[in-house]
Structures are given as structure tokens and as C-alpha cells.
Amino acid sequence: MANLDQNNWFTEISDRDGSAFSLRITKKLDEQQSPFQKVEMYETTDFGNLMIIDGCTMVSSRENFFYHEMISHPALLAHPNPKNVVIIGGGDCGTLREVLKHPSVESVTQIDIDEVVTQMSLKYFPELCESNQDPRATVMFDDGIKYMREAAPESIDVVIVDGTDPVGPGEGLFNHAFYTSCLTALRPGGILIQQSESPLMHMPLLVEMRDAMTEVGFVDLQTLPFPQPIYPSGLWSVTLARKSEAFAGFRENDANTLAQSTEYYNAGIHYGALATPNYMKRAFEKK
């Protein structure tokens, strides 16, 4: 639920979390109702442009790097040589931009169901779309669940699930059937990484996700928390699941090189995010 009051404060009220988050708005820039969801754009006083989907904050100019860097770089650098990458969702194209910073990557296919999100991003977040024309990139507007179900077995190195909350178009990205499709499509040692909500607000969902990933056959998991200022609680997470072998560190030298072109991610951040807080450990171990 969202509200724009008479003093131009946009407030996202999260009933499920008993919390709210506000940003001061200068003006409304755009609004489109797609076949799937309502997409709005605002100009804020301090966070640049702001994208709202179905009343929920999604992306702002000021802080999007936290999310885009953490949903891409940890998985790509935990893989020894990622060549073929698939992004499910990611319509704002910020994750695509980050993936294409990796020289080993030969192809990236992004599949988002809603073209309106990308149209809005091209207009209001051009910096996120600056790599869309990279010859290694393919941008598709289709059903990502169907795409993964039909993907050739053992054809992908890394799958990045950059979806919305598990409601509406994003609901089918959080279940056994989808994880099974990802597992089948990944090569041995391949990695699935998915945004996994707030480890403070949404622990039951996070535990359910991890259990489902293990139950379909992924052999090792890592959940990395990171700041996310415009999402509920300000603390978010990504969860990595590896096929056929355990995680064995990450390419630290490449992480340090990459840090020349990132705002948040570096080797130290990666190491720090791997240090799981005690309350999360207890939740993951409890059955």
C-alpha cells in the first residue's frame, strides 16, 4: 500500500511487516499500467528518480548499486569461469550492466515479463541501461519461468533471479518447480543466485527458500545480507545455491580489480557478507 500526502511525502506502508518508509517527492514523472502491474516514476528531493511498482519502492538513482552489485558479483566471482549467464527479471537493466563488467562472460540473456519496466528505465535511469547494446547481451520480454523450464540441460553457468516479492508476477520464482528447472539448466558447479528478501523481516520465507533449494538437489548455500535503504527494514539479502559441489571461496584478485568500477562491492565486502549473523545461523539450523 502506498500513499502520497499533501506535503509530497511518498510512503510505502508494509502491512505484513508493520512498518513504513517515506521519501520526499518533487513531482510525478510518469505512470503506466502494464498487463502485469502498475509502474510509476517520481522525482525525489534527495534520492534522484524513483520507480514504484504496485505501490512498492523498487529502484532509486541514489542507492540502487547496493542491490545490483550484490545480486551479480558474489555469484559471478564464486564461479571459476562464468561464460553463459541468464537473468530472470531485472527489467531495470542494472543487474545486466553489472554482469557485463566481467570479461569472462560471453553471453547474458535477460528475460523479464514486463516490457514497461525496461521502457521506464531507459527513459528515467539511462545509466542503468548503458550496456543494453553490448553484443554479448540479449534482452527478452517473456515468461522467465517458462524460459528456464525449456532451457537446455547443463547450458548455463550462472542464473540470477532478480525478481520482485513473491506475489503477482514474482510468485512463481519461489518454489520447488522453478528451482528444479534452474538446477537442470545449470552446468556442474553452476550457481543460482536469488534476491531473498529481508533476513530481519522475512526470515520464514528465507528459510523456506533455502529448504526448497536443498530439497531439489543444490548441494551448498550461502545467504549474504547487505544494506538496502529503500526496502523494508533497510536490510536485504541474496541467496546463492551451488550445483554438484560446495562453495570454495571466490576470485579475490578479480574482485579487487572489479572494485575500480563498483560503488559498494569489493573483496572485503564479500568476505564480510559471508560472516553470517548469529540469529540467521540459528534460524537456518532450526528444523
What value, to the nearest 5°, has the Cα angle with vertex 268 and ends 265 and 269?
Answer: 40
| Residue 214: pLDDT over 90 | yes
Here the cell at position 198 is 529481508
Q: What is the pLDDT of residue 5?
A: 72
The string of pLDDT tens digits covering residues 155-172 is: 999 999 998 666 445 556
Where do we find the cell 565486502? 269
Confidence of residue 175 (pLDDT cuts 50, 70, 90): confident
DSSP one-letter code for 86? E
pLDDT tens for residues 192-205? 999 999 999 999 99
Residue 50, C-alpha cell as written in the block: 524513483
Half-sphere exposure of 164 (CA within 13 A, CB side): 23
Burial class, 134, CB count within 10 angstroms (exposed 0-12 / middle 13-18 / buried 19+): middle
CB 121 within 8 A of CB 39: no
pLDDT in tens, 66-119: 999 999 999 999 999 999 999 999 999 999 999 999 999 999 999 999 999 999
Residue 52, pLDDT above cutoff 80: yes
Mean pLDDT value across the chain: 95
Q: Which of 217, 191, 238, 240 is nearest to 80 (CA)?
A: 191
**CA atoms of 135 and 181, how far apart (whole Å):** 27
Q: Residue 166's pLDDT is what?
A: 60
Catalytic residues: 162
Go through 140-160 and write b for each residue having 16 or more CB atoms within 10 A of its CB, e for each that does not. eeebbbebbeebeeeebbbbb
pLDDT tens digits for range 215-272: 999 999 999 999 999 999 999 999 999 999 999 999 999 999 999 999 999 999 999 9
If we measure between CA atoms, which residue out of 122, 82, 78 comes closest to residue 102? 82
Does pLDDT of 16 surpass 90?
A: no
Cβ atoms 160, 191 nearer than 8 A: no
The cell for 134 is: 553490448
| The pTM of the whole model exceeds 0.85 | yes
Distinct helix (H) and strand (E) counts, the chain: 10, 13
pLDDT of residue 4: 76
pLDDT digits (tens, 9 = 90+) for 18-41: 999 999 999 999 999 999 999 999
pLDDT value for 124:
98
CB 131 within 8 A of CB 100: yes
Q: Please give the Cα distance from 138 to 107 (Å, whole number).
A: 8
Q: Is 260 exposed, middle or buried (0-12, 13-18, 19+ CB in 10 A)?
A: exposed
Distance (Å, rounded) from C-alpha 212 to C-alpha 193? 14
